[in-house]
Structure 1
Amino acid sequence: MPKLESLSDEELFLLVSKNQDGAFHMLYERYKAALLVYAIKRVGQDAGEDLVQDVFIRTWNNRYSIDYQDDFKAYLFTALRRRIMDYFAKENNAQGYLEDLKSYASEFAFDEADEHVRAQSFRDSIFAVLHRYGPQYQAVLKLRLQGYSNPEIAVMLGLSEKTVRNQYSSTLKIIRSNFSSFLLFLFF
């Protein structure tokens, strides 16, 4: 059998589809740097590394069903572009949701004092739910509501930016899943 380095992408992927992890490692080493450069230019270091790893994980997990149309490199870059688009859509939705949360309390205000009381009550209800998940979730949300970015929050809390990003995403999911019950409690 020839050395893995001398095999084409297609030959290597054929071995990958037969559970040859050495062939997969060769493909990973062959394309990791180029994919990282592409991703980091678009989404930054941490997110870029996460997205590239995700592409390779998905490639391995779906190795039996992938149809790469005789151009494995194009398949990888297309998969990465899709993951980047998903990332931007998720970030935009999360930011929009936070803005909606900020403005939602003010929609139901009748005067400035009442607005403040309702907004504070709404925040208190959110933080009461987050209390079940730990103090870091509350701290991340408080700092985001104060306008701090993920890198700033990471420095303030002594966490990695990835951890802050993941906890913020989890926090939004928690709030979404409990949001409707808070509306009934606060406003009816």
Structure 2
Amino acid sequence: MDQIPIIYQQWLRAIKERNDTNAYAELYQYCWKDLYQHAARRILDSQDVEDILQELFVQFWEKRHTIDIQMNLPAYLKGMLKYKIIDFFNSNKAKDKLLDHWSKHIFDYVQHHPEELETYLMLEKMLEDELEIMPHNMRQVLLLKWEHLSIREIALRMGLSEQTVKNNLTEASKRLKKAIIGYQNVQDGSFTLLLIFILEELSR
């Protein structure tokens, strides 16, 4: 996005004052790639990235009559994107992805041990509750780690030190283990041990 600002101003004026869809399309085409690359460094699923950018540009169009023609367009769009990404990681969609990683590792076990289904459903609800109350960075570290990113990759994506990532991951695992063991009716069960083993494997 190194084009001279006057072109940004021309696009913004046309969009704001004349509802110019051609100018909007030019702006979209020019800015989309850089925003996509920026988001893709933080969100793994390309469809999620595309959905976020679609929402961003729809919102930009809807607010066109209030935009500042003199603004720094690239900085403005990246600011919008930043909050879209935060919303994504705080959303149920992101949480569901994390639950999917949990679920797929115990699906076979539950199939062969149907008597554990009720326990599984209870523990899945427990996991949802624990994720809900985790600090944002801690939850996001788990999400990225369970997407098989390395500690270094997570640190780069989140702008944190590698030690901070490790600390968040360790604390998150401790919280989940404590919550699992806290259910008295599964305290001594093999299913509980399996879940703790999965947590340890996914956290390495």
**Could you tell me the TM-score, scaled by structure 2's length?**
0.43
Larger RCO, structures 1/2 (Cα 8 Å, 6+ apart): 2
**Could you tell me the TM-score, scaled by structure 1's length?**
0.46
